[in-house]
Amino acid sequence: MKQGPFDRGAIDIAWCPGCGNFAILNALKAALTQLGISPEQIVIASGIGQAAKMPHYVRTNVFNGLHGRAIPAATAIKAANPGLTVIAEGGDGDMYGEGGNHFIHAIRRNPDITAIIHNNMVYGLTKGQASPTSSLGFKTPVQVGGVTEEPFNAMAVAIALNASFVARAFAGDVDQTRDIIKAAISHRGFSIVEILQPCVSFNKVNTFQWFKENSGYVEDSYDPSDRSAAFNRAAEGGKMALGICYVNSERSCFEETLSPYSEDSTPLFKRDVDMAKLARLVDSKRQA
Amino acid sequence: MPPAVVGKNGDISVVLCGEAGQGIQTVEQILTQLLKSSGYSIFGTKEYMSRVRGGSNSTQIRVSSHRVCSPVDRIDILIPFDTKALEHVRGRIRADTVIIGGKKELFPAGGADHFNCIDIPLSEIASQVGGAMYMNTVGSGVIAGLFSVDRQRLDDFVAAFFGDSSESVIEKNRDAAARGYDAAIKIIEDGRIRLDVSANPEVENDILMNGADAVGIGAIAGGCDFVASYPMSPSTAVLVFLAFHGDEFGIVVEQAEDEIAAMNMTLGAWYAGARALVTTSGGGFALMEEAVGLAGMIETPAVIHLAQRPGPATGLPTRTEQGDLQLAMYSGHGEFPRIILTPGSLEDAVYLTHRAFNRADKYQVTAFILTDQYFMDSYYNLPSVDVSGLRTVRHIVETDETYQRYFLSEDGISPRGIPGFGTGLVAVDSDEHDENGHITEDLDLRIAMVDKRLKKSAALENDTVPPELIGKDDYSILAVGWGSTYHVIKEALTVIGRDDISFLHFKQVCPLHRSTVEYLKRARVTAVVEGNATGQFANLIKLRTGFDVHHRILKYNGLQYTVEEVVGRLSKII
């Protein structure tokens, strides 16, 4: 097979055979290739979990940090060097459970990064406990009587908070997933892509077939700029909407609001401290 | 009645005390600057309750003919804003403490005669001006008058200080200051009081700052261009300082949603080439600990300003303690080296914070600057801080295609590339990783990587700030301290005045300088003076050197040592 710019060659991959992550990996690499961004200019930050191993399988810069903390790291990477394309990637437990606070505040902060969140409605790496998105009644070795907590509806939360870009994809459809990732990366602002994905080892309820039957793309006439309609669609039961659910291009992104970049886009590492100015600051302490 | 002569060796301790919201802090800001510009050396420190209104807070301003940098118990002039204030400092009122205030206001039930009280009805004067809110400015005027500050200078200063307020508020404050000033002149002219202190034109042009300013200046000198933090007393002042100067120096300033985000942002920023600082206090830092481990694992530099306050948990939020040395020392799980710097003076804070950035970058470790509430909030004047020789040294390399972030080098330090600078790729991983930064479970590689990270300890030990010896080399008694107790122990030894006692101050406690044990062995008696309940530094010395210090002088009531207190407690063991 021809080596693509983001292929790492023959490496050991820690995912189970048949895992939806393989399809997401292919969709991501295809999206990055089609966008024509060079691997040196991309950083994929991730947390912990099977989904968070993704950056190790893509030939690019990697910040594989702590469980739940990909978004703050990614936000700062982008703020330190706005020229980079920055992606934060992880699973539903990583992003919605451990990192839920960062997810919420990143929507408010609106950094120009893309969050790719694999949602398989179960904890894989810790072997089958409930995740924040597990369905009511879902039985696990810990939730022995079934899940009693309302599943976290990230799409509805994101739209309620007026997120900049909210989309959902299905790992079973690599081409659409690729295109949605491309649109998310191209969007200026915080872009959320939740990817529905079966877990072949630990989720025997939400299978490939289940996702096929319980999700569907938004119709051609769907207007992703209509926030109320988007919220209603995200909040109502029934089939989970796939596609670009909500876009708000009006919001300024975090880096644009930072004063170091108001007149100069030079990344921080190429700047020097103005020591004469600092000496003047010290001198200013002579007078009230 | 002869005038009350106030002051001791040209040094006067003024204490103002009132409720939160009565403007004690405003008085402090006005007076420290005004008195310094009038040629007095100043030391200002405050103690306050964790509330926005009410309670009793006090601020001490030492006004002196010579440089003073530490708190004293002694109160020469007390200005209580209410009766509660009088109670708050009652234990420190001596026969010769002059209390200035309205006798009827302060002693509604009588009893003023038991004190050396000079009647200036601050509250009544404030009412005449326009309300109780002007009491603090009346008090400022009184002090300015007592110290013979130029009347015009006071007026100009007050007008400028309240410059952002409405015309009427400015005018009323000027009026309040003038009335206070005149009242003070009158008691001097009436022969009620005489101040034994003289101005020295040399200090008029000194710089005046507090610990937070000094850490902030040091950070900028160290190339700090990114700060993400979550507000927490007493560390917030550094965040405020950097935010205030952020536009001027091109600093990304972000108030994170929590300390966990702040610390992970700090690491993301360094990874991408920034020089980031996080400023926090005990409880907030506890939340950052996992990311301290991440910094250790991915060998991304980090600078943490940890301003201590008494814990555990919320503890005493607005008080001081040196209780988090162990926390910083052992924070983060797993084994990895770190640097802990402990400034004692304002110059230390500038130079050590600058150093923290360069050393964190050079050795790819976390560098802590350990201060405390007392240090953050205390002011004094000093001739200057020379920043001209300070340089930001960046230890990053331009990568090529063969770049490996964790190349197994001789000294354990792998050249640090950053994404987007060069043609190589930079991968870092919180998992154990290979030389390329990718996840591994190769257990031989695990040993190689642990050894590589720990090898940096040797380099760090060769690049440690030595302790400063104050006093003669041939001491028989050695007092030992670290961090913010520097000036108070130094002054206490001057007061004791014996040439067989010296003081060893540690500006870096990790790694501990290798000269430490030699200094200790030369003394017949050693005593560690520190602000915690268990003797954390004494324990550290024992752990690192095997040396048992003879005495532990400890304090943990939330207040800094005073000179008298150190004198008293040292005197008992010498």
The answer, for A277 touching chain B at a CB cutoff of 8 Å, is yes
- Chain B residue with CA closest to A60: the answer is B425
The answer, for A161 touching chain B at a CB cutoff of 8 Å, is no
Strand partners, B529: B553
Residues of B in contact with A288 (CB under 8 A): 33-34, 37, 157, 160-161
pLDDT digits (tens, 9 = 90+) for B540-558: 999 999 999 999 999 999 9
CB contact under 8 A, A278 and B220: yes
Q: In this model, does residue B2 exceed pLDDT 80? A: no
Enumerate residues 6+ apart whose C-beta is below 8 A from B96: B4, B6, B76, B116
Residues of A in contact with B265 (CB under 8 A): 72-73, 75-76, 79
Using a cut of 0.80, tell me whether the model's pTM lies above it: yes
CB contact under 8 A, B217 and A282: yes
- The CATH number that domain B4-205 falls under is 3.40.920.10
Quote the CA–CA distance of A94 and A83 in Å, as a whole number: 26
Q: What pLDDT sits at residue B189? A: 95
- Cα B482 to Cα B345, B350, B493, B506: the distances in Å are 11, 16, 15, 5
Q: What is the mean pLDDT of chain B?
A: 96
Other Cβ atoms less than 10 A from the Cβ of A272: the count is 11
Confidence of residue A288 (pLDDT cuts 50, 70, 90): low
Residues of B in contact with A277 (CB under 8 A): 248-249
**C-alpha B382: how far from chain center:** 15
From B157, B252, B260, residue closest to A258, measured CB to CB? B252
Burial class (CB in 10 A: 0-12, 13-18, 19+), B517: middle
Average pLDDT estimate for A163-171: 98
Residue B66 half-sphere exposure toward CB, CA atoms < 13 A: 6
pLDDT digits (tens, 9 = 90+) for A275-284: 999 999 999 9
Quote the CA–CA distance of B183 and A151 in Å, as a whole number: 70
- Cα A108 to Cα A68, A111, B256: the distances in Å are 17, 9, 11
DSSP chain A: -PPPTT---S----SPTT-HHHHHHHHHHHHHHHHT--GGGEEEEE-SSSGGGGGGGSSSEEEE-STT-HHHHHHHHHHH-TTSEEEEEEEHIIIIIITHHHHHHHHHH--S-EEEEEE-SS-TTTTS---TTPPTT---SSSTT---SPPP-HHHHHHHTT-SEEEEEETT-HHHHHHHHHHHHHSSS-EEEEEE---TTT-SSS-HHHHHHHEEEPPTT--TT-HHHHHHHHHSSSSEEEEEEEE---SPPHHHHSGGGSS----GGG----HHHHHHHHHHTT--
Q: What pLDDT sits at residue B55? A: 86
CA distance A263 to chain B (A): 10
Confidence of residue B111 (pLDDT cuts 50, 70, 90): confident
Instruction: Report whether the peptide linkage leading into residue B383 is cis, meaning its omega lies within 30 degrees of zero.
Output: no
Quote the CA–CA distance of B42 and B59 in Å, as a whole number: 13
Q: What are the residue ranges spanned by the domains of chain B?
A: 4-205, 212-382, 396-461, 468-571
- How would you label A100-116 residue by residue, b for 16+ Cβ within 10 Å and e otherwise? bbbbbbbbebbbbbbbb
Q: DSSP assignment, residue B205?
A: G
- The CATH number that domain B212-382 falls under is 3.40.50.970
For domain B468-571, give the fold.
Answer: Rossmann fold (3.40.50)
Residues of B in contact with A66 (CB under 8 A): 264, 290-291, 294, 430
Q: In this model, does residue B405 exceed pLDDT 70? A: yes
Q: What pLDDT sits at residue B525? A: 98
Amino acid of residue B463: D
pLDDT digits (tens, 9 = 90+) for B495-517: 999 999 999 999 999 999 999 99
Q: What is the mean pLDDT of chain A?
A: 96
Q: Which two tokens stand for residue A230?
A: 């988007």
DSSP B328-397: HHH-SSS---EEEE---SHHHHHHHHHHHHHHHHHHTSEEEEEEEHHHHH-EEEES----TT------EE
Asked if B435 contacts B457 with a C-beta cutoff of 8 angstroms, the reply is: no
Q: Pick the residue of A7, A66, A256 with the most B CBs within 10 A to test the interface with B by mutation.
A: A66
Structural domains of chain A, ranges and CATH numbers in brackets: 20-263 (3.40.50.970)
Q: What pLDDT sits at residue B50? A: 85
CB contact under 8 A, B420 and A267: yes
Q: What pLDDT sits at residue B21? A: 84
Quote the CA–CA distance of B81 and B90 in Å, as a whole number: 14
Q: Please tell me if the domain spanning B212-382 has the same topology as the one spanning B468-571.
A: yes
Amino acid of residue B124: E
3-state secondary structure B535-571: CHHHHHHHHHHCCCCCEEEECCCCCCCCHHHHHHHHH
pLDDT digits (tens, 9 = 90+) for B223-249: 999 999 999 999 999 999 999 999 999
- Indicate the pairing of strand A191-196 with strand B468-470: unpaired
Q: Which two tokens stand for residue B216?
A: 């902030």
Q: In this model, does residue B148 exceed pLDDT 80? A: yes
Quote the CA–CA distance of A46 and A73 in Å, as a whole number: 9
Quote the CA–CA distance of B197 and B38 in Å, as a whole number: 12
Q: In this model, does residue A1 exceed pLDDT 70? A: no
pLDDT digits (tens, 9 = 90+) for B327-370: 999 999 999 999 999 999 999 999 999 999 999 999 999 999 99
Q: In this model, does residue B426 exceed pLDDT 70? A: yes
Average pLDDT estimate for A188-217: 96
Quote the CA–CA distance of B476 and B519 in Å, as a whole number: 11
Helix (H) or strand (E) holding B285: helix B282-298
From A63, A282, A288, residue closest to B387, measured CB to CB? A282
For chain A, what percent of residues have pLDDT higher than 90?
A: 97
Average pLDDT estimate for B388-396: 94
- Chain B residue with CA closest to A274: the answer is B249
Q: Pick the residue of A38, A42, A63 with the most B CBs within 10 A to test the interface with B by mutation.
A: A63
CB contact under 8 A, A40 and B387: no
Which residue, among B17, B10, B23, has the nearest Cα to B131 in the 3D structure? B23
